[in-house]
């Protein structure tokens, strides 16, 4: 049992997710007994705690290895993004079956959805710490260190370094107002003028949907409630996005200032940063920055001496679930429940955390708001286009010479972006991650804007040698894995899309399969409950329309069985313990 | 247009609604059937099965969780929407292990009745053949997760009507499954009784009362006599008579 359990007192404000993480960390799994104990400590139904454990990829009911390794499976930072299958290589080196813990409990190796290290080459997390720029050499060394049971602090420290490569800075990243100055300015001009400034700036949410930030704050302020909350969405789960990781590392003070501004405008006392578990290694520095802000009187009671302005921020770390980036699922998770999206309306602005009015904004949105208040809305408004003002920070990765962070004014063409990052003979670009838009070269003149092609921050480049079908299969797998399972079209439809794509790739597809994909795609898109399902089929539908040959070149001209005859007999062979030629069927 | 301000129009009928009422409840009260599996009159709606998807303009929305507002023009009984509903029914079939010919629930099963309703002749999609745990621990009640469609009705019935909070759903995507709110995770350790609404509300053969399976012979069961449309509208009337 965890030594920490004895220290726990139910009166502390520890978050359920943090308690569960501590157990996972100490005991390498969360047993039925631990679930029961936590349920008692938190005075929650055991089933609720068990459901939270089952919902998250980073919690396990069976022990993981003392070295627990998660390879990213993203198209940019994944184990297949280089020449070799690195996951397979490490498994071979250490005699591990992927997904299983080695019998001696030393090591477990598995894969996980994008870990936001897409500009750092193939990457993994080992016991939560990132190792980047993997190649077969490094993997072999890594295997040796594990075999020798070398403790992580004794590993080459530069392996864990993450270098931010900011290739283009503009209005936001160039700005460096002190958080104190930002707050003084807001306190000076007052709530209404602060809000008016945001309205004039035309700032829209940077997390994807592009809702006007001033309207969100105003709606929240006007909604009846006993308390109001400010929530920063730092779940950054869209594959290919890593700009919030950079912002959380280098601009955290201004993020907290932006949240405090929001609190000032709407009248909130409590804020949360919901940080994705994949970024847990940022937690210490974020806590230090928070502490710093408190020391400067920018957070806590009577902020900068104002008797009626108390506000503080708590960081809650998730546990591996893309859906928790959806704002209502995020709030459920904050409340200690599985991240199943709520029925909307009502929206969080009126019924959010604990049913109270809540603003949920992206990291970049809060920082932009803080800078707008400090610098004024005029400059901001002149940057970008009429309906998409200001700049957008992009995380660019994939087949290009200079992957990294780029800040552009809205309205920039993708042609220009591709030129700047040294991408040549580009076959396709995925804007806004798997949930976004797939562009063919004919569309590269289109622009980055809410009313043209928008992006929460991800831009994935696929060069001339990429197999686009494998990209689609990767995306389809991502959605099937991340679907929360609440509604039928997404829960069943996303794995069906994956199966159809696999069938095509494995040479079992026909013209009928294409037709099927089309229909399935539309059904998942239109009938699902939340944004995950609404966007899960975008990439396939875009692909079928813009790159039909990617699919059609694999199709068989004659009838083919959709299932693999021989594979279908596998369980019968297993039961009868036969493997002789008679127990096999040819597919031809 | 002949619409008054306090009605909604579903297909070609104008029907009244009370403030705050959902489209589903207004429709059922007016004798209009919108197909559904996870909705039950009197329980809070969930919106998970998506059979009640209707169209308002170009927007698709679940009738059971959408509030009626004056002047809404709703399309429901259209060939296109019914084709979608049939596909969703097929999805529910292939996702679980539905052993209709040997299932005790056959003839009383709403999923099966929904398939009849849409003239579903095949599964269409490849079977998932999931492995899901069976819980036979309770002397009176069987829980076979293989046949569960995750409609959440038992969860709500137990929480909101029986006040026992015995069930919840857990796990993501195709791993989603029903769990029992006991330290052992077994039904036998829960206070469930065979008279509870949660023990009787399951639309499929996932929660079964033991030793009652063949009291009514096949051929004389609910959906041998009636359509799901008829029973769906009756449930509404029964609820009204209870009040
Ligand atoms: C499946 C899904 C995942 C999402 N993930 C994120 C995320 O990681 N970060 C984010 O800021 N918004 C994410 N969103 C959007 C949020 O729901 C919400 O719109 C956003 O946080 C609002 O902030 P903004 O107005 O500042 O953009 C996601 C939405 C969906 C449907
Ligand atoms: S669309 Fe997918 S992620 Fe969203 S509620 Fe439905 S199953 Fe969950
Ligand atoms: S057991 Fe029955 S009532 Fe409960 S969720 Fe499954 S199908 Fe619905």
For residue A455, give the CATH number of its domain.
Answer: 3.10.20.600
In a domain, B228, yes or no: no
How much distance in Å is there from the Cα of A482 to the middle of ligand 2? 9
Residue A28 lies inside a defined structural domain of this protein:
yes
Pocket test for ligand 2, best of A237, A323, A496 (most atoms within 8 A of CB): A323
Same domain for B23 and B65: yes
Does ligand 1 come within 6 angstroms of the Cβ of A205?
A: yes
Q: Is the CB of A237 under 6 A from ligand 1?
A: yes
Residues B181 and B141 in one domain: yes
Atom of ligand 2 at shortest range from CA of A528: 1
Residues A261, A318: one domain? yes
Top mutation candidate among A326, A328, A363, A485 for ligand 1, by most atoms within 8 Å of CB: A326
CATH code for position A97: 3.40.30.10
Q: Is A207 exposed, middle or buried (0-12, 13-18, 19+ CB in 10 A)?
A: buried
Specify the number of domains making up chain B: 2
B64 and B134 belong to one structural domain: no
For residue A588, being part of any structural domain is answered with no
Nearest by Cα to A295 from A177, A179, A176, A175: A179
A470, burial (CB in 10 Å: exposed 0-12, middle 13-18, buried 19+): middle
- A47–B173 C-beta distance less than 8 A: no
- Quote the ligand 1 centre to B4 CA distance (angstroms): 39
CB nearest to B88's CB, from A36, A489, A562: A489
- Do residues A61 and A50 make contact, with C-beta atoms less than 8 angstroms apart? no
What pLDDT score was predicted for residue A562? 67
**Strand ranges across the sheet with B134-135:** B134-135, B141-144, B207-209
Cite the beta strand spans of A229-357 per DSSP E: 229-234, 270-275, 312-317
Looking at the fold, whether A495 and A432 belong to one and the same domain comes out as: no
User: Which of B50, B123, B150 should we substitute to test contact with A (largest number of A Cβ atoms within 10 Å)?
Assistant: B50
CATH of the domain at B149: 3.30.70.20
Structure token digits, residue B155: 């969860």
- Distance of CA A564 from the midpoint of ligand 2 (Å): 30
* Same domain, residue pair B204 and B237: no
From A324, A343, A483, the mutation candidate for ligand 2 (largest count of ligand atoms within 8 A of CB) is A483
pLDDT at A412: 98
Count Cα neighbours of B226 within 13 Å in the Cβ-side half-sphere.
Answer: 13
Burial track A128-161 (b if 16+ CB lie within 10 A, e otherwise): bebbbbbeeebbeebbebbeeeeeeeebeeebee
Q: How far is the CA of A77 from the centre of ligand 1 (A)?
A: 22
Please check whether residues A273 and A146 belong to one and the same domain: no
Task: Say whether both A157 and A173 belong to one domain.
Answer: no
Residue B153 lies in a domain: yes
- Residues from chain A that touch B149, judged by Cβ atoms under 8 A, are 488
My answer on whether B190 and B237 are in the same domain is no
Provide the shortest C-alpha distance from residue B215 to chain A (in Å). Answer: 32
Distance CA A503, CA A516 (A): 12
pLDDT number for residue A82: 80
Last residue within a domain, chosen from A428, A462, A496 = A462
With respect to residue A199, please indicate whether it lies within any of the assigned structural domains: yes
Q: Do A290 and A246 share a structural domain?
A: yes
Cβ of B196 closer than 6 Å to ligand 3, yes or no, is no
The answer to whether residue B152 scores a pLDDT higher than 60 is: yes
Q: Which two tokens stand for residue A40?
A: 């008692």
Q: If you take atom 31 of ligand 1, which residue's CA is the nearest one?
A: A531
Q: Is B208 in the pocket of ligand 3 (CB under 6 A)?
A: no
Q: Which CATH number belongs to the domain containing residue A488 in this structure?
A: 1.20.1440.230
User: Strands A67-72, A107-112: parallel, antiparallel or unpaired by DSSP?
Assistant: parallel
B174 close contact with A: CB closer than 8 A: yes
Residue whose tokens read 């403790």: A151
Residues B237 and B205 in one domain: no
**The total number of structural domains that make up chain A:** 5
Minimal CA separation from A508 to chain B, in Å:
13
Candidates B132, B172, B187: best to mutate against A (most CBs of A within 10 A) is B172
Ligand 3 centre to CA of B124 (Å) is 23
Which residues on chain A are in Cβ contact (under 8 Å) with B173? 480-485, 491, 494-495
Residue B193 lies in a domain: yes
CB-CB neighbors (< 8 A) of A494 in chain B: 173
Q: Pick A488's closest partner by Cβ from B49, B180, B184.
A: B49
pLDDT of residue A560: 64
Do residue A173 and residue A320 come from a single domain? yes
Residue A357 in domain:
yes
**Whether residue A235 is found in the same domain as residue A326:** yes
Question: Which of A55, A486, A491 minimises the CB distance to B174?
Answer: A491
Residue A62 forms part of a structural domain: no
Specify whether the CB–CB gap between B76 and B11 falls below 8 A.
yes
Measure in Å the smallest separation between the Cα of B61 and chain A Cα atoms.
7
CA of A109: how far to CAs of A106, A270, A482, B107, in Å?
Answer: 10, 39, 19, 47
Q: In terms of CA atoms, which chain B residue is nearest residue A55?
A: B171
Do B238 and B203 sit in the same domain of this protein? no
Q: Domain for residue A491, yes or no? A: yes
Query: Quick check: A485 and B60 CB within 8 A?
Result: no
Q: Which residue is it, tokens 């220009």?
A: A416
Q: Do A47 and B167 touch (CB under 8 A)?
A: yes
Going by CA atoms, what residue is nearest to atom 18 of ligand 1? Answer: A327
Q: In angstroms, what separates the C-alpha of B62 from chain A's closest C-alpha?
A: 8
Are A365 and A422 contained in the same domain?
Answer: no
Give per-residue pLDDT as tens, B178-224.
Answer: 999 999 999 999 999 999 999 999 999 999 999 988 899 999 999 99
B237 with B201, same domain: the answer is no
DSSP string, B116-140: HHTT--S--SPP------EE--SSS
Residue A386: inside a domain: no
- Is the C-alpha dihedral spanning A210, A211, A212, A213 positive or negative? negative
Nearest CA to ligand 1 atom 30: A326
Q: Which two tokens stand for residue A332?
A: 């459920």
Pocket test for ligand 2, best of A484, A498, A534 (most atoms within 8 A of CB): A484
Nearest alpha carbon, ligand 3 atom 6? B148
- Find the closest chain B residue to A345 by CA distance: B66
Pair A415, A355 in one domain: no
Residues B202 and B238 grouped into a single domain:
no
- Compute the distance between CA of residue A155 and CA of residue B208 in angstroms, rounded to an integer: 57
Domain extent at residue A451: 393-462
Sole residue written with tokens 């770390």: A317
Please tell me the distance in Å from B169's CA to the nearest CA on chain A: 7
Considering the domain architecture, whether residues B147 and B198 belong to the same structural domain is answered as yes
Is the residue at B188 inside a domain? yes
Whether residue A545 sits in one domain with residue A449: no
Among A163, A183, A204, where does a domain finish?
A163
Determine the Cα–Cα distance for residues A256 and A254; give it in Å rounded to an integer. 5
Query: Quick check: is B58 in a domain?
Result: yes
Q: What is the ipTM of this complex?
A: 0.96
Distance CA A221, CA A213 (A): 12
| C-alpha–C-alpha distance, residues B94 and A252, integer Å | 48
Give residue-wise pLDDT tens across range B67-117: 999 999 999 999 999 999 999 999 999 999 999 999 999 999 999 999 999
Closest partner residue to B60 (CB to CB) among A50, A321, A526 is A526
Considering A462, A492, A515, which residue would you say is the last residue of a domain? A462
Q: Say whether both A289 and A351 belong to one domain.
A: yes
Are residues A29 and A171 both part of a single domain? no
Q: What pLDDT shows up at residue A567?
A: 81
Assess contact for A404 and A167: CB atoms under 8 A.
yes
d(CA B159, CA A539): 40
- Which residues span the domain enclosing B21? 7-78+233-242
CA-nearest residue to B181 within chain A is A47
Note down pLDDT in tens along chain A; length 588 residues: 333 333 333 344 699 999 999 999 999 999 999 999 999 999 999 999 999 999 999 999 999 999 999 999 999 999 998 889 999 999 999 999 999 999 999 999 999 999 999 999 999 999 999 999 999 999 999 999 999 999 999 999 999 999 889 999 999 999 989 999 999 999 999 999 999 999 999 999 999 889 999 999 999 999 999 999 999 999 999 999 999 999 999 999 999 999 999 999 999 999 999 999 999 999 999 999 999 999 999 999 999 999 999 999 999 999 999 999 999 999 999 999 999 999 999 999 999 999 999 999 999 999 999 999 999 999 999 999 999 999 999 999 999 999 999 999 999 999 999 999 999 999 999 999 999 999 999 999 999 999 999 999 999 999 999 999 999 999 999 999 999 999 999 999 999 999 999 999 999 998 999 999 999 999 999 999 999 999 999 999 999 999 999 999 998 776 666 667 788 888 888 888 888 888 888 765
Which atom of ligand 2 lies nearest, measured to the CA of A323? Answer: 3
Rounded to the nearest angstrom, the minimum Cα separation between A491 and chain B is: 5
**Measured between alpha carbons, how far is A6 from A3 in angstroms, rounded to an integer?**
6
8 Å CB contact between B96 and B148 = yes
Contact between A379 and A567 under an 8 Å Cβ cutoff? The reply is no
Place of tokens 């063919």: A440
The burial class, CB within 10 Å (0-12 / 13-18 / 19+), for B48 is: buried
* B1 inside domain: no
Question: Domain containing A226 — which CATH number?
Answer: 3.40.50.11540
Tell me, yes or no, whether B165 lies in a domain: yes
Domain assignment of residue B220, yes or no: no
Answer yes or no: is the C-beta of A531 below 6 A from any ligand 1 atom. Answer: yes
Asked if B95 lies within 8 A of A491 by C-beta distance, the reply is yes
| Residue A387 to residues A204, A210, A390, A479, Cα–Cα distance (Å) | 9, 10, 10, 31
Cross-chain residue pair A484–B170, CB shorter than 8 Å? no
- Tell how far the Cα of B203 is from the centroid of ligand 3, in angstroms: 7
B70 and B35 in one domain?
yes
């Amino acid at each position: 049992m965890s030594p920490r359990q004895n220290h726990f007192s139910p009166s502390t404000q520890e978050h359920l997710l943090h308690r569960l993480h501590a157990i996972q960390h100490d005991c390498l799994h969360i047993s039925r007994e631990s679930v029961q104990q936590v349920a008692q400590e938190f005075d929650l139904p055991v089933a609720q705690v068990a459901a939270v454990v089952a919902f998250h990829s980073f919690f396990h009911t069976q022990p993981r290895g003392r070295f627990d390794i998660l390879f990213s499976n993203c198209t940019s930072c994944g184990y297949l993004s280089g020449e070799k299958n690195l996951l397979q290589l490490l498994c071979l080196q250490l005699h591990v079956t992927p997904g299983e813990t080695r019998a001696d409990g030393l090591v477990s190796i598995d894969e996980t959805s994008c870990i936001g290290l897409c500009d750092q080459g193939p990457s993994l997390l080992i016991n939560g710490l990132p190792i980047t720029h993997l190649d077969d050499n490094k993997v072999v060394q890594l295997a040796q260190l594990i075999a020798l049971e070398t403790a992580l602090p004794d590993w080459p420290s530069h392996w864990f370094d993450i270098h931010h490569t900011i290739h283009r800075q503009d209005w936001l990243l160039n700005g460096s107002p002190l958080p104190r100055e930002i707050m003084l300015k807001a306190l000076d001009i007052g709530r209404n003028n602060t809000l008016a400034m945001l309205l004039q700036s035309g700032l829209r949410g940077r997390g994807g949907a592009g809702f006007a930030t001033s309207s969100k704050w105003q709606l929240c302020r006007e909604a009846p409630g006993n308390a109001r909350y400010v929530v920063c969405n730092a779940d950054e789960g869209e594959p290919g996005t890593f700009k919030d990781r950079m912002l959380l590392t280098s601009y955290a003070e201004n993020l907290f200032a932006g949240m405090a501004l929001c609190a000032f405008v709407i009248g909130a006392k409590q804020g949360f940063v919901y940080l994705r578990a994949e970024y847990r290694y940022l937690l210490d520095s974020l806590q230090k920055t928070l502490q710093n802000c408190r020391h400067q009187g920018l957070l806590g009671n009577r902020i900068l001496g104002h008797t009626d302005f108390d506000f503080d921020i708590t960081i809650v770390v998730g546990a591996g679930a893309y859906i928790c980036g959806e704002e209502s699922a995020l709030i459920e998770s904050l409340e200690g429940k599985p991240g199943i999206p709520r029925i909307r309306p009502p929206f969080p602005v009126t019924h959010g955390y604990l049913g109270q009015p809540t603003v949920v904004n992206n990291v970049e949105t809060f920082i932009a708001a803080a800078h707008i208040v400090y610098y004024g809305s005029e400059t901001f408004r002149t940057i970008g286009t009429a309906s998409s003002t200001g700049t957008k920070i992009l995380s660019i990765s994939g087949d290009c010479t200079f992957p990294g962070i780029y800040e552009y004014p809205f309205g920039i063409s993708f042609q220009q972006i591709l030129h700047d990052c040294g991408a040549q003979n580009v076959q396709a670009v995925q804007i806004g991650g798997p949930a976004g838009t797939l562009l063919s070269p004919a569309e590269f003149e289109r622009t980055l804007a809410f009313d043209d092609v928008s992006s929460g921050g991800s831009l994935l480049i696929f060069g001339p040698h990429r197999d686009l079908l494998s990209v689609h299969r990767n995306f389809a797998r991502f959605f099937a894995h991340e679907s929360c399972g609440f509604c039928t079209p997404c829960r069943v439809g996303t794995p069906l899309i994956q199966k159809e794509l696999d069938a095509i790739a494995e040479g079992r597809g026909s013209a009928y399969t294409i037709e099927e994909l089309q229909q399935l795609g539309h059904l998942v898109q239109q009938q699902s409950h939340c944004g995950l399902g609404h966007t899960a089929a975008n990439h396939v539908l875009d692909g079928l329309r813009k790159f039909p040959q990617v699919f059609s070149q694999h199709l068989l001209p004659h009838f083919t069985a959709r299932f693999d005859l021989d594979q279908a007999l596998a369980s019968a062979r297993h039961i009868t313990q036969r493997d002789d030629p008679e127990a096999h069927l040819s597919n031809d | 247009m002949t619409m008054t301000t306090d009605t909604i129009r579903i297909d070609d009928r104008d029907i009244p609604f009370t403030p705050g009422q959902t489209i589903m409840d207004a429709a059922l009260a007016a004798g209009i059937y919108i197909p559904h599996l996870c909705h039950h009159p009197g329980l809070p709606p969930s919106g998970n099965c998506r059979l009640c998807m209707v169209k308002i303009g170009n927007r698709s929305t679940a009738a059971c969780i959408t509030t009626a507002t004056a002047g809404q023009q709703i399309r429901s009984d259209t060939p296109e929407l019914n084709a979608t509903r049939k596909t969703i029914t097929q999805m529910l079939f292939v996702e679980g292990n539905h052993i209709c010919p040997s299932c005790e629930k056959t003839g009383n099963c709403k999923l099966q009745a929904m398939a009849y309703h849409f003239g579903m002749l095949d599964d269409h999609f490849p079977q998932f053949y999931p492995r899901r745990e069976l819980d036979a621990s309770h002397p009176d009640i069987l829980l076979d997760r293989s046949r569960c469609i995750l409609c959440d009705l038992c969860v709500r019935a137990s929480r909101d009507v029986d006040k026992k909070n015995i069930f919840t759903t857990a796990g993501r995507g195709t791993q989603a499954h029903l769990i029992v709110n006991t330290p052992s995770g077994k039904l036998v350790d829960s206070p469930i009784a065979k008279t509870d609404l949660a023990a009787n509300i399951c639309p499929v053969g996932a929660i079964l009362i033991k030793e009652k399976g063949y009291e009514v012979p096949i051929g004389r069961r609910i959906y041998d006599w009636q359509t799901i449309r008829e029973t769906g509208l009756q449930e509404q009337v029964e609820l009204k008579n209870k009040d």
